[in-house]
Amino acid sequence: MKLKRIMLVCIGAFGAPGLAAAEAPVQIYGTLNGDFESVEAKGAALGSAQDFARRNRVTSNSSNIGLRGSEDLGSGLSAFFQIENAVNFDDGTGSGFWASRNSGVGLKSGWGQITLGQWDSPYKYATARFDPSGNVGIAAYTGIMGGTGGITAGQGGSNPAQRLSFERRVGNSVQYWTPGWKGLSARLAYGTSDSNQGSAATGVSEASGLKPDLFSAMAAYEAGPFYATLAFEHHKDFQGLNSLLGAPASSGNDQAWKAGASYRFAGKFSIGGIFEHLQYKADDINGLGSLERKVDNWYAVGQYDAGPHHVALAYGRKGKEKLSGAGFSDLPDSEAHQISARYGFSLSKRTQLYAMATRITNGENAAQQFGNTPLTSTNLFRDPSRGADPTGYGIGMIHVF
């Protein structure tokens, strides 16, 4: 239930000023998305890679609760805030901290809006609408797209998967969103080094002289049933390839771009597709010179709505690992494919029951995992799950308030 206004009685904790400040309208909102799953990964390549036996689990699929509100400042200008938090109701642990999801403060008017805080990057936002699962759960399209699954992190990250991902909720960032104009809109974001500088565990050491940062942009055109988008993102000194290969820090630049389009026919059937190019470059790997990695991905989806029924079928393909420099060459059998099917039945505008199935087929030198809640960490062409094929089935429920 949406609460249009809340009087937050804070006299005991904060005194009377808190009561006066609480008179602005505040909305409580959230999404609870839980499912019962059966998952496994079998067919691992020879060597130290391993299978993961079938197991049952309950997953909360990026469930969240938040507070947001705004204040009219006059002359068409308003201030706004949002504080959104993860809710892991499957086991009650690891829910993170306040503002663990999209959170920030900013200003908006006829010229658009500017936000300071942590928010989905424009690159992530551009194509999230294509995914029938809402880009959460085992069937999320980030099993193929974006590099290594969805993450929330500052610039760089604490492991190779975080440092190599372009599917990011960006911390320590400033964003500008344009107003819509004749179907056109755009978003820009800059992610600062901040705390990721000075700690080798989450970025680079101060002594390295490197300052990891991020730039992300997207533009979209929407007219009736047609939607098209183009997005770009650049990472400076994220150390993805260096940390993946256990090499000392070096400068480097990673970048990605993607284009997507979708069309809805007669308001019931829609088709969509995305092409993505990822490129990573480390300027030095163990004194052997620069290393460059390139991967092309694509994704196609068809969806059909009939009353309370929603049916979707999606296919994604990760391309071959193209490696050059530092003694590396293209990696054979490094392609991967994902097919997903989903059926949803809406009980109301806010509640839906659903069933889904997904399978990722990895080549012997591929290690793609579920985009959310993977069975094991994603390490690209390294063990432990190299060559194994994750498969999952689930039934669940979504409730929005």
237 φ, ψ (degrees, to nearest 5): 55, 40
Q: Are 249 and 208 in contact (CB under 8 A)?
A: yes
The lowest-confidence range among 16-30, 186-200, 257-271, 347-361 is 16-30
pLDDT above 80: residue 234: yes
Tell me if 15 is assigned to some domain: no
- pLDDT category at 381 given cuts 50, 70, 90 is low
Q: Which residue has the higher pLDDT, 199 or 324?
A: 324
Please state the rounded mean pLDDT for residues 370-376: 86
* pLDDT greater at residue 93 or residue 67: 67
Residue 294 phi/psi, 5-degree rounding, is -130, 140
Does the pLDDT at position 270 exceed 50?
A: yes
Q: Give, in order, the Cα–Cα distances in Å from 331 to each of 11, 35, 41, 73, 165.
A: 64, 36, 22, 57, 19
Q: Mean of the pLDDT values across residues 11-29? A: 54
Task: Indicate the helix (H) or strand (E) that contains 19.
Answer: helix 16-21
Q: Which amino acid is at 387?
A: G
Question: What is the residue-wise DSSP string for 267-299?
Answer: TTEEEEEEEEEEEEEES-STTS--EEEEEEEEE
Q: Give the other-Cβ count within 10 Å of 43's Cβ.
A: 14
The three-state secondary structure class of 112 is: strand
C-alpha–C-alpha distance, residues 145 and 340, integer Å: 14
| pLDDT band per the 50, 70, 90 thresholds, residue 9 | very low
CA distance to 65, 67, 72, per residue, from 26 (Å): 13, 7, 13
Contacts of 387 (CB under 8 A, 6+ apart): 43, 44, 45, 49, 362, 363, 364, 365, 366, 367
User: Which comes out higher in pLDDT, residue 376 or 369?
Assistant: 369
CA distances from 305 to 76, 183, 274, 342, 395 (A): 39, 24, 21, 12, 19
Q: Is residue 1 part of a domain?
A: no
- Domain range holding 130? 33-64+103-400
Q: Does residue 187 belong to any structural domain of this protein?
A: yes
Asked whether residue 379 carries a pLDDT value surpassing 70, the answer given is: no
* Average pLDDT of span 262-269: 94
Residue 3 lies in a domain: no
The predicted structure's pLDDT at residue 282: 97
pLDDT exceeds 80 at position 259: yes
Give the separation between CA 240 and CA 159, rounded to whole angstroms: 8
Q: What is the mean pLDDT of residues 172-197?
A: 92
CA atoms within 13 A on the CB side of 231: 29
- In angstroms, the CA 204 to CA 315 distance is 37
Q: Are 254 and 280 in contact (CB under 8 A)?
A: yes
Number of domains in the chain: 1
Are the beta carbons of 302 and 312 closer than 8 angstroms? yes
Q: In which band, very low, low, confident or very high, does the pLDDT at 178 lie, cut at 50, 70 and 90? A: very high
Residue 24 lies in a domain: no
The pLDDT confidence band at residue 237, using thresholds 50, 70 and 90, is very high
Q: Give the chain's mean pLDDT.
A: 89
pLDDT digits (tens, 9 = 90+) for 103-134: 999 999 999 999 999 999 999 999 999 999 99
Say if 17 falls within a structural domain.
Answer: no
Is residue 49 over pLDDT 90?
A: no
Output the pLDDT for position 98.
86
The pLDDT of 205-221, averaged and rounded, is 91
Query: What is the DSSP code string of 143-201?
Result: GTTTTT--EEESSS-SSHHHHH-SSEEEEEEEEEEPPPBTTEEEEEEEE--GGGBS-TT
Name the nearest CA neighbour of 189 among 259, 126, 273, 134: 126
Binning pLDDT at 50, 70 and 90, where does residue 18 land? very low
User: How confident is residue 94, by pLDDT bands cut at 50, 70 and 90?
Assistant: low
Q: What is the pLDDT of residues 126-161, one digit of tens each?
A: 999 999 999 999 999 999 999 988 888 888 888 888
Does a structural domain hold residue 8?
A: no
Q: Is the pLDDT of residue 222 over 80?
A: yes
Mean pLDDT, to the nearest integer, of 72-91? 95
pLDDT class of 24 with cuts at 50, 70, 90: low
pLDDT value at residue 5: 37
Domain of residue 246, CATH code: 2.40.160.10
Residue 242 forms part of a structural domain? yes
| CA–CA distance, 136 with 141 (Å, rounded to integer) | 8
Distance CA 101, CA 105 (A): 13
- pLDDT of 50: 84
Please, which pLDDT band fits residue 96 given cuts at 50, 70 and 90? Answer: low
Is the pLDDT assigned to residue 3 strictly greater than 60? no
- Predicted model pTM: 0.91
Alpha carbon distance 377, 379 (integer Å)? 6
Residue 46 has pLDDT above 50, yes or no: yes
- Decide: 265 and 304 in contact? Cβ < 8 Å: no
Q: How many CB atoms lie within 10 A of CB 115?
A: 23
Confidence at residue 84, expressed as pLDDT on a 0 to 100 scale: 97
